[in-house]
Structure 1
Amino acid sequence: MTKIIGIDNMTVEEVNKELSHGGKFVVFPYCFSIVILTFKRSSDIHFIKAGEPTFSKNIQFILISLFLGWWGIPWGIIYTIQCLIDNFRGGKNITEQVISALRES
């Protein structure tokens, strides 16, 4: 079961209200490399309220990719750039997938 960070003590109605005002569920991708092996992973799911900045949530994943992602050849460079782009855009929006999964459960 994947953890959702940011919805503690929120009711379903409060989450739905935030979603209707622009809230979203995001993950922050990161990568790390060990010479010829590169691993691309995603953070736990984060609930971002409408208008809430993401920098304090994604900085650790940006730093992991910046310092540990480049070293794998060739995928380290490719994955690092992809992860940085996603994170500087505020994370990868997976709201539709989360809502769909919640409806099925």
Structure 2
Amino acid sequence: MKINGLDGISQETLEYELQQGGKFVTYTYCISIIFMTFRRNSDVYYIGPHMSAVSKGLKFTLISLLLGWWGFPWGPIYTIGALFTNFGGGKDVTEELSPTSAEGSIAY
């Protein structure tokens, strides 16, 4: 699995930063076409310990604001859900992808 934001980070540095508060997150976005609304998750992003997870997800928030709310009835509902997720820093998937977990596998 390819994770955005890991360019040039060694395994040791990554493990140290995860202990200091770094995390892996996904963001939610939705796109509507009249009566059809599609809710999707972004790729996984690495957020360093002193980085803003909210600012990384702004493009997905904008996609939802511009294209998500048009569909009826799920467009507004999914758009509001995407806003809550993205302004909350995204969905934390660190436990599933941590290099120390049994199932975690990260592609550099």
| Alignment length (residue pairs) | 102
Instruction: For 2:4 and 2:89, locate their aligned partners in 1 and report how far apart those are by CA, in whole Å.
Output: 15
2:85 paired residue number? 86
Q: Which runs of 4+ in 1 moved over 2 A?
A: none
Amino acid at match of 1:28: Y
Taking the TM superposition and a 5 Å limit, the aligned residue runs for 1:65-104 are 65-99=64-98, 100-102=103-105
1:4 paired residue number? 3
Stretches of structure 1 lacking an aligned partner (at least 5 in a row): none
Q: CA RMSD in A?
A: 1.4
Amino acid at match of 1:46: Y
1:26 paired residue number? 25
Q: Which has the higher helix share?
A: 1
2:53 paired residue number? 54
Instruction: For 2:70 and 2:54, locate their aligned partners in 1 and report how far apart those are by CA, in whole Å.
Output: 24
* TM-score, with structure 2 as normaliser: 0.87
How big is the shift at 1:17? 0.4
| Percentage identity across paired residues of the two chains | 48
